[in-house]
């Protein structure tokens, strides 16, 4: 079923203006203060938030929701402020191990904070914080050998191949892309049955494919598949023996449910350093091989080579990351929203 059909469940979408508070992880206070362009953009966007709050107030009065759900992101701030003014209960959900700024702003008025990671990672009051996990694509399931073979057939990969899945994130990761291209010839030479499926990000697909062709020549079409984006990402991760990825919260949640041996390279540059925080739990439990962003090609080759060679090691990592899975996260979150909605409806 196509994604547009699967998620076509909303009666209507409405829009309000909002503004983004720009700050950059690792930037010093002095650098921030002399960044005139960013300061002006933040000043402009303050008035967008004010305008958006007025629009959201009108919309909430019109539709009279019994609960407002905030998944985070700067777009939710005007709606959250309007909900506070109208006395509508707010429920927040943070996927990353670091609470987002938008949810921290409106979260002070929230009835409940649902979290994707254990509650200790968040600044909210313990009494109002519930660890539910991260909702994922309902097609993501624990993967056994039979399902892996089925998924490989679905995406046209041979059942007896050794599969490395590379995922740089929704927009791709130039650093990750370059690292894998550099080590690919060695890996393919060492492991004759290896196939690399590389999710490059839509904007990088052509250039990544061209770099592979330069490195591998005629070997490239048979051994490497470069994909910009696919709504069936779950099928590719499910078919893989080893996954190399960034530390996006949803990606980690899916890999935990699928029980996949993973090498994780968190991005240190994203706001709040949330990918670094996401990876902490994996490091503590030994649930994945976590490498720094400045890892050398030689080190990356060594780690990937070892995992591809050692099936028992892959099984150990799969078991540990599987202990973090929360496959019922969507159900728990829906129950929370329904309960608060019903209580508010009765109170009115």
Residue indicated by tokens 């049955």: 193
19-28, 100-109, 172-181: the lowest-pLDDT one: 19-28
Largest CA distance in the chain: 69
Tell the burial category of 13 from Cβ atoms under 10 Å away from its Cβ (0-12, 13-18, 19+): exposed
What's the mean pLDDT in 183-190? 96
Q: Report pLDDT for 24.
A: 54
Confidence of residue 77 (pLDDT cuts 50, 70, 90): very high
Confidence of residue 340 (pLDDT cuts 50, 70, 90): very high
Asked if residue 274 has pLDDT above 70, the reply is: yes
Percent of the chain whose predicted confidence (pLDDT) is above 90: 74
Q: Report pLDDT for 37.
A: 74
Q: Report pLDDT for 1.
A: 40
Confidence of residue 9 (pLDDT cuts 50, 70, 90): confident
Instruction: Write the DSSP string, 134-180.
Output: ----TT-----HHHHHHHHHHTT--TT-EEEEEE--TT--HHHHHHH
pTM of the model: 0.88
Would you say how long the chain is, in residues?
A: 348
Question: pLDDT per residue over 127-159, tens digit each?
Answer: 999 999 999 999 999 999 999 999 999 999 999
What's the mean pLDDT in 225-241? 96
All structural domains of the chain: 7-134+328-347 (3.40.50.2000), 145-322 (3.40.50.2000)
Confidence of residue 124 (pLDDT cuts 50, 70, 90): very high
């Amino acid at each position: 079923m196509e994604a547009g059909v699967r998620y076509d469940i909303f009666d209507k979408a409405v829009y309000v203006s909002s503004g983004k508070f720009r700050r950059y992880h690792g930037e010093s206070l002095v650098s921030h203060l002399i960044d005139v362009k960013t300061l002006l953009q933040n000043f402009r966007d303050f008035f967008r938030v004010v305008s958006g709050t007025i629009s959201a107030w009108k919309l909430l009065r019109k539709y009279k929701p019994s609960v407002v759900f905030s998944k985070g992101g700067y777009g939710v701030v005007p709606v959250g402020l309007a909900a506070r003014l109208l006395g509508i209960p707010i429920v927040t959900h943070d996927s990353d191990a670091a609470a987002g700024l938008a949810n921290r702003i409106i979260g002070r008025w929230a009835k409940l904070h649902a979290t994707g990671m254990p509650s200790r990672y968040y600044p909210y009051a313990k009494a109002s914080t519930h660890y539910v996990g991260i909702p994922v694509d309902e097609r993501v399931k624990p993967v056994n050998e039979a399902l892996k073979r089925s998924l490989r057939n679905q995406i046209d990969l041979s059942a007896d191949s050794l599969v490395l899945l590379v995922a740089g994130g929704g927009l791709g990761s130039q650093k990750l892309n370059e690292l894998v291209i550099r080590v690919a010839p060695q890996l393919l030479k060492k492991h004759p049955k290896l196939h690399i499926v590389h999710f490059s990000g839509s904007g990088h697909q052509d250039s990544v494919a061209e770099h592979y062709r330069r490195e591998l020549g005629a070997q490239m079409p048979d051994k490497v598949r470069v994909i910009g984006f696919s709504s069936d990402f779950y099928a590719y991760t499910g078919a893989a023996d080893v996954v190399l990825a960034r530390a996006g919260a949803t990606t980690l949640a899916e890999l935990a449910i699928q029980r996949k041996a993973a090498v994780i390279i968190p991005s240190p540059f994203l706001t709040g350093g949330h990918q670094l925080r996401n990876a902490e739990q994996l490091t503590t439990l030994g649930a994945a091989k976590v490498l720094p962003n400045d890892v050398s090609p030689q080190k990356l080759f060594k780690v990937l080579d070892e995992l591809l060679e050692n099936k028992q090691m892959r099984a150990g990592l799969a078991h540990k990351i599987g202990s973090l899975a929360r496959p019922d996260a969507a159900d728990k979150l829906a129950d929370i929203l329904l309960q608060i909605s019903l209580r508010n409806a009765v109170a009115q």
